[in-house]
Amino acid sequence: MSPPKSWLWNPDLPGVELHTHLEGSVTCDRLLALSEKYGQTALAAECLNDKGTEYVFDGFFGFLDLFRKVTLLLKTPADFHQVALDLGRTLHDDGVGYAEISLSYGVMLKRNLDPLAIQQALYEASCQVLETHGVKMRWLPDAVRQWGLDKAWFALEAALRTGPELGVVGFGLGGDEVAGSVSLFAPLFAEVRAEGLGISIHAGENPASGQAAADSVRQAVDECGADRIGHGLGAVSDPMVMAMLNARQVFMELCPGSNLMTGALTQYSDHPLQQFLAADIPCGLNPDDRSLFGVNRKQELIRARKELHLTEEQETKMIQWAQRASFDPEMRAAAE
């Protein structure tokens, strides 16, 4: 399937999401359908409440286990294709016109799935979503930090085989930050940069780690060349890291609802959104794993206005920042 020759920014769909995980966007209904398809209803029952209407987990490591269980029910390119169609419709209903969606090539390879076949299915889904809903979807394969550098190289090699022709615009790193320093991945991200892909790294997600969280952000930028940081809460504890983020205009993919759900924040109002804005550090709000957390863009904005004192002027500025921080040339051109 060929995509439309051009895409125009639609002001009726102003949202720009740069931190959204495909696997975290599997709806409860889709999970139940997949569990029926594969005869694994007990697995779905472990993930959902008694009514099958919400995901359940306890804390960050409980979330990681939930994420793992959900991915076990994504077995074929057709499964990924359907989840992408579901997400495209959800993005449209949430007022999002452009999204860069992370997906774990690391997990796919560990499960002996073929990233190329899956990416082809996702590209076809993205073309359908663009035609049907006017939402442009691009893709950020990522590696899993706690599985080490060697496994990450395999994930990158798979991403390079798929490439921009199938909508891949960047490469990322997620997983358990405590498992090892991001500095270990510097050679990998040098190759990502050489191949012309954008770099997004989860770092500084848990401020309770203190200076280690700030150092993780610094290393992601200084040593791995990150264009964007996922979460980055730990940065605000270190004025030098904040100054670096401002000087390099590194975009912060902020996810306050997600941080509250994983326990990184004890209350929503603790999120340092206004500190990033006051420091003129580019940033934007994102739902992260929208289905697993029960968070969407509209809800996030409403809550940020109420509890983080987000203004209309700041919202507009964040959309412009997000457009410029995109890894897609057409999206960046829309910001000019």
Provide the token pair at 64: 């990681």
Supply the pTM of this predicted model: 0.95
Share of the chain above pLDDT 70, in %: 97
Query: What's phi and psi for 200, nearest 5 deg?
Result: -130, 125
User: What value does the mean pLDDT take over residues 149-163?
Assistant: 97
pLDDT-derived band at 12 (thresholds 50, 70, 90) equals confident
Model pLDDT, residue 4: 46
Would you say residue 3 has pLDDT above 50? no
> What confidence tens digit (pLDDT) does each residue in 325-335 have?
999 988 888 77
Would you say residue 168 has pLDDT above 80? yes
- Sign of the alpha-carbon torsion through 302, 307, 311, 316: negative
Model pLDDT, residue 7: 58
> What confidence tens digit (pLDDT) does each residue in 258-302 have?
999 999 999 999 999 999 999 999 999 999 999 999 999 999 999
DSSP secondary structure string for all residues of 70-125: HHTT--SHHHHHHHHHHHHHHHHHTTEEEEEEEEEHHHHHHTT--HHHHHHHHHHH
Q: What is the dihedral of CA 306, 312, 317, 320, to 10 degrees?
A: 100
Question: What are the residue boundaries of the structural domains of the chain, listed by start?
Answer: 15-334
User: What value does the mean pLDDT take over residues 310-326?
Assistant: 96
Q: What is the third-level CATH fold of 15-334?
A: TIM Barrel (3.20.20)
> What confidence tens digit (pLDDT) does each residue in 30-73 have?
999 999 999 999 999 999 999 999 999 998 889 999 999 999 99
> What confidence tens digit (pLDDT) does each residue in 79-123 have?
999 999 999 999 999 999 999 999 999 999 999 999 999 999 999
Residue 74 to residues 80, 101, 107, 154, 205, Cα–Cα distance (Å): 6, 16, 11, 20, 26
Q: Which residues pair with 251 in a beta bridge?
A: 228
Model pLDDT, residue 9: 67
